[in-house]
């Protein structure tokens, strides 16, 4: 462990632990940030890229991995891509150019959705929130040009500047693929016009973060009546093969406005389709177009350069063959022994949580027992899944076709499989994240927690670290995910993942008061020239608080417990150095609080923190007992 100045911790835990690192850490030119999570990602990427390059000499035995390697090689062949030029995209654009009416568009709509093109309604399949054993059809609004609705506010100076950067990039791309300057300007103007029709009717990030507002089931007839411009029932029937009884609408305001958005606006809608097609596909063409097509996202994040050819090819491959790449990584670099060891640790943390729930002082007995029942039903998945979905047996790459054509067809296969799940039993064991991902998640509709192999390494977890360090790292992450079952969103779902109120009125009111205290604690905290939105980040802050508190309780049960090691590693896992642009973007759209504040404020909520480091009223890290927020 690095030597940490104890006095500095009294001033700022995060800076005391990470200050020296922050002084020398360099943000890679092709990334917006570096640090704990990011460094692990970089190391894993390098290892897997080396392996994929080796596979070009010696093919892997797994036929699914062989297809992934084919895509990697095709994506890396920039000489061929430069030679093919714009031809692969121009074939696709002809389909959109020929459209003359909504009736025309309707004929191709389902196929366009399968191919991943922009759509006026975004359809998805997920567990039915009121009957989580069955997959249901969801409908949402399409994305906006700017990253979040608030960027369009008149008093937000970033909006116009970003829209200008987007327009400059888009104009370059349109001219490169064959449009003259006047045509390009017209396409951009009309796309912005159509985008402006969407803006008033979509949710802000804060609203999207509230799961209780997502479930708005409508009968098919009610849903189809939202517009006369397009036949919503017909496209649904083409996607899932039948007519469902209901559609779950996540943005009812948008659907109610759909007819007015589309009516008499076909020309600008068509431009919006064309521009989105160019933006979505340009990165799969020449290297010049790939570089141009990332200008806007780099402006948003502050990254200086696009990723190199090798990384581009690997990221594309990992995105499409995620479970195949994850399975390979997990089995080769993680293994069954570590999988069993961490699974034991997760079960241990669940037991700690049960004990804390049983002795909770503010929950009523009825709610308490139901919370424990929810924990008893919690699905635990560690390392890598036991089985890869059948989808990956059907993803094949044709080296004779262009990269764009291959990616399109792979997307069609994946989307057909997605829509085929409608009304089928939910597969609780199906992962939604590759095992090679440095992250973890809780799925409220399935009541499962998932810990991919990639996060299960130092500084989060290592046999070389003390138990207190491991609890301050992976222990807190594990308990964080368990806590999501009882945050302001997760608490709405029962042990089977159904949206079902299992709380008494009194307990609900008490919980809401505590959640409001957490909102107030973070709301308005200054960071990167902006302020934290306490309501947007409340679910993650509740999970952070519960996770740290439970991990601390578990650490204290160990014979080698060290509070200092526990809190120091907690601060270490959050180390991050990022561009100002990226930090400001995250403050606007991310449900997580900035890393430094996660480390410091949650430590300040633990009474033990002040005892361990002898922190008193005159120290900057001091927080009065009555201001410390503890929910779980």
Distance CA 431, CA 428 (A): 8
Catalytic residue among 126, 481, 494, 540: 481
Closest CA to 603 of 562, 557, 552, 561: 552
Ranges of H-type helices in 490-625: 505-522, 538-555, 563-573, 580-589, 595-604, 607-612
Catalytic residue among 115, 277, 495, 544: 544
> Is 608 known to be catalytic?
no
Ranges of H-type helices in 282-435: 287-293, 295-301, 309-320, 322-333, 335-358, 365-376, 403-420
Give the DSSP H or E segment for 117.
none
ω before 203 within 30° of 0 (cis)? no
> Is 481 known to be catalytic?
yes
Are 405 and 88 within 8 A, CB to CB?
A: yes
Judging by DSSP bridges, how do beta strands 131-140 and 122-128 pair with one another?
A: antiparallel
**Close Cβ partners of 61 (under 8 Å, ≥ 6 residues apart):** none
String of DSSP letters for 474-525: IIHHHHHHHHGGGSTTGGGB-TTS-B---S-HHHHHHHHHHHHHHHHHHTT-
Closest CA to 148 of 582, 589, 581, 591: 589
Region class of 424: left (phi > 0), else alpha (psi between -120 and 50), else beta = beta
Catalytic residues: 481, 544
């Amino acid at each position: 462990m690095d030597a940490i100045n104890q006095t500095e911790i009294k001033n700022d835990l995060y800076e005391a632990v990470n200050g020296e690192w922050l002084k020398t850490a360099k943000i890679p030119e092709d990334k917006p940030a570096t640090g704990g999570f990011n460094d692990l990602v970089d190391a894993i990427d390098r290892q897997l890229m080396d392996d994929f390059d080796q596979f070009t000499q010696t093919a892997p035995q797994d036929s699914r991995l062989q297809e992934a390697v084919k895509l990697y090689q095709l994506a890396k062949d920039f000489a061929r891509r430069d030679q093919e030029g714009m031809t692969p995209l121009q074939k696709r654009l002809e389909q959109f150019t020929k459209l003359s009416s909504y009736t025309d568009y309707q004929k191709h709509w389902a196929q366009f959705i399968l191919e991943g093109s922009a759509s006026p309604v975004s359809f998805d399949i997920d567990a039915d929130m009121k009957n989580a054993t069955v997959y249901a059809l969801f409908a949402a609004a399409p994305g906006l040009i700017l990253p979040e609705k608030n960027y369009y506010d008149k008093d937000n100076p970033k909006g116009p500047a970003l829209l200008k950067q987007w327009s400059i990039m888009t104009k370059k791309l349109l001219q490169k693929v064959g449009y003259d300057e006047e045509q390009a300007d017209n396409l951009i103007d009309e796309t912005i016009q159509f985008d402006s029709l969407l803006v008033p009717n979509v949710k802000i990030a804060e609203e999207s973060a509230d799961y209780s507002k997502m479930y708005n089931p409508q009968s098919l007839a009610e849903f189809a009546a939202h517009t006369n411009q397009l036949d919503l029932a017909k496209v649904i029937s083409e996607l899932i093969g039948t007519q469902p009884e209901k559609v779950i609408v996540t943005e009812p305001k948008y659907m109610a406005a759909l007819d007015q958005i589309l009516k008499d606006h076909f020309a600008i809608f068509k431009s919006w389709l064309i521009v989105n097609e160019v933006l979505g596909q340009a990165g799969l063409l020449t290297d010049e177009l790939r570089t141009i097509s990332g200008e806007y996202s780099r402006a948003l994040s502050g990254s200086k350069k696009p990723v190199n050819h090798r990384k581009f090819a690997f990221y594309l491959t990992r995105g499409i063959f995620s479970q195949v790449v994850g399975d390979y990584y997990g089995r080769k670099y993680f293994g069954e022994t570590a999988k069993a060891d961490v699974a034991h640790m997760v079960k241990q943390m669940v037991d700690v949580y049960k004990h804390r729930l049983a002795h909770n002082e503010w929950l009523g007995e009825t709610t308490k027992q139901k919370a424990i029942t929810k924990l008893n039903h919690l699905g635990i998945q560690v390392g890598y899944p036991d089985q890869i979905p059948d989808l990956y047996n059907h993803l094949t790459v044709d080296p004779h076709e262009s990269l764009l054509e291959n990616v399109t067809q792979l997307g069609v296969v994946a989307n057909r499989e997605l829509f085929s799940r409608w009304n089928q039993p939910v597969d609780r064991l199906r992962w939604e994240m590759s095992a090679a991902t440095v992250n973890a998640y809780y799925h409220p509709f399935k009541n499962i927690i998932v810990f991919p192999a990639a996060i299960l390494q130092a500084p989060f977890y290592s046999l070389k670290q003390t138990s207190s360090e491991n609890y301050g790292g992976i222990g807190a992450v594990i308990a964080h995910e368990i806590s999501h079952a009882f945050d302001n969103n997760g608490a709405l779902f029962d042990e089977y993942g159904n949206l079902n109120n299992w709380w008494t009125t009194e307990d609900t009111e008490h919980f809401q008061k505590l959640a409001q205290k957490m909102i107030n604690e973070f709301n308005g905290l200054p960071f990167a020239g902006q302020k934290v939105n306490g309501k947007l980040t409340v679910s993650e802050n509740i999970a952070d608080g519960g996770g740290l508190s439970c991990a601390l309780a578990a650490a204290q049960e160990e014979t080698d417990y060290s509070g200092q090691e526990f809190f120091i590693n907690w601060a270490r896992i959050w180390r991050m150095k990022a561009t100002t642009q990226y930090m400001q973007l995250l403050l606007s759209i991310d449900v997580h609080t900035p890393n430094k504040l996660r480390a410091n404020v949650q430590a300040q909520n633990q009474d033990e923190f002040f005892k361990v480091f002898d922190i008193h009223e005159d120290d900057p890290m001091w927080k009065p007992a009555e201001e410390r927020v503890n929910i779980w």
